[in-house]
Structure 1
Amino acid sequence: MGARKRLTAEKRKEANKAVSLAKLNNVPTSPRKMRLVVDMIRGMEVFKALGVLKFSNKEAAARVEKLLRSAIANWEAKNERRAESGELYISLIKVDGGAMLKRLRPAPQGRGYRIRKRSNHVTLQVDTIKNDNQN
C-alpha cells in the first residue's frame, strides 16, 4: 500500500472511531417498505424514535427498533457510559437495495411472470447532539 493511500485510510479509521453505527443486512423486505419506516425517524432523538417505532404497526418497524437499540448499545460501549435522554440523535439512516431472488409464477397461455423478491440493507448511525454543534 502506498503512503498516500495509507494516510487516507488512517484518517478514515480515526473518523470512524467517533462514530457509532449498526448495520442490518439482507432484510427480506422491499426497500420501499423499509424506507417508509426509516423516514418516520430520520433525524430524531433516539428515545423518541424508539417510542415511535414501538407503536408503529409496520412489520419493518420491529427490525429498525432492534437495530436502533444495537446502535445505542454500540455508542454506550465506545463511550463507556449510559446514554441519557436528549443526548443522542440519529445522524444517518439509509436503506440500500440488497440481493433479489428471482422467481417465475405460472401465467395463462403457457407464459410465466417474473416475481422479484427484494431485500435491503439498513445502515444507522447515532451521534451526540453537542458533537453536531461543534462541527
Structure 2
Amino acid sequence: MGSRKRNSAERRKEALRSQYFARLNDVPTSPRKMRLVADMVRGMEVNKALGVLKFSTKEASNRLEKLLRSAISNWEQKTEQKAENADLIVSEIFVDGGRMLKRLRPAPQGRGYRVRKRSNHVTLYVDTKKSTNVTKEVADGTKS
C-alpha cells in the first residue's frame, strides 16, 4: 500500500473513532419501506425514538429498534458513560439500497414476470445534543 493511500485510510479510521454509529447490512426489506420508519426517528431523542419504534406497527421498526440499541451501546462503550445521563439524539440516519435478488414468476401464455426482491443497508449515527449543536455552528460559520 502506498503512503498516500495509507495516510488517507488512517485519517478515515481516526474520523470514525470520534463518531458513534451502527450499521445494518442486507436487510430483506425494500429501501422505501425502511425509509418510512427511518424518517419517523430522525433527529429524535434516543429514549423517545425507542418508544416510537417499539409501538410502531411496521415490520421494519423491529430491526431499526435493535440497530438503535446497538448504536447506543457503541456510544457507551467508546465514551465509557451511561446513556441515561447524556442527552443522546439520533443525529443522522440513512437507508441505501442493497443487493437485489432477481426472480421470475410464471405468467399467462408462457410468459414470465420479473420479481425484484430488494434489500437495504441502514446506517444510524447517535450523538449528544451539545456536540451536534457545536458541529452545526462550525459548519454554518456562526461560531469561531
**TM-score normalized by the length of structure 1:** 0.93
2:134 is matched with which residue? Answer: 134
- Rounded to whole Å, the distance in 2 between the matches of 1:42 and 1:108 is 44
The percentage of aligned residue pairs carrying the same residue is: 71
Residue segments in structure 2 that go unaligned for 5+ positions in a row: 136-144
Per-residue CA deviation, residues 74-108 of structure 1 (Å, 9 max, x unaligned), is 00011111112661111111111111111111111
Change (3 A) 1:86 1:40: farther
Paired amino acid for 1:25: N
5 Å matches for 1:1-135?
A: 1-84=1-84, 87-135=87-135
1:13 deviates by 1.8
- Rounded to whole Å, the distance in 2 between the matches of 1:86 and 1:52 is 19
1:134 deviates by 2.4
Question: In structure 1, the residue corresponding to 2:22 is in which secondary structure?
Answer: strand
Paired amino acid for 2:63: R
- Rounded to whole Å, the distance in 1 between the matches of 2:2 and 2:112 is 53
Per-residue CA deviation, residues 16-36 of structure 1 (Å, 9 max, x unaligned), is 111111111111111111010
- Rounded to whole Å, the distance in 2 between the matches of 1:104 and 1:3 is 48
Larger strand share, 1 or 2: 1
Count of residue pairs brought into register by the alignment: 135
1:8 deviates by 2.7
Residue segments in structure 1 that go unaligned for 5+ positions in a row: none
Per-residue CA deviation, residues 3-54 of structure 1 (Å, 9 max, x unaligned), is 4333332222222111111111111111111010001011111111101101
Paired amino acid for 1:9: A
The answer on whether the counterparts of 1:45 and 1:86 sit within 8 Å (CA) in structure 2 is: no
- Rounded to whole Å, the distance in 1 between the matches of 2:63 and 2:53 is 9
- Rounded to whole Å, the distance in 2 between the matches of 1:10 and 1:95 is 26
- Rounded to whole Å, the distance in 2 between the matches of 1:86 and 1:57 is 29
- Rounded to whole Å, the distance in 2 between the matches of 1:13 and 1:26 is 23
- Rounded to whole Å, the distance in 1 between the matches of 2:125 and 2:75 is 9
How much is the aligned-residue C-alpha RMSD, in angstroms? 1.4
The answer on whether the counterparts of 1:47 and 1:85 sit within 8 Å (CA) in structure 2 is: no
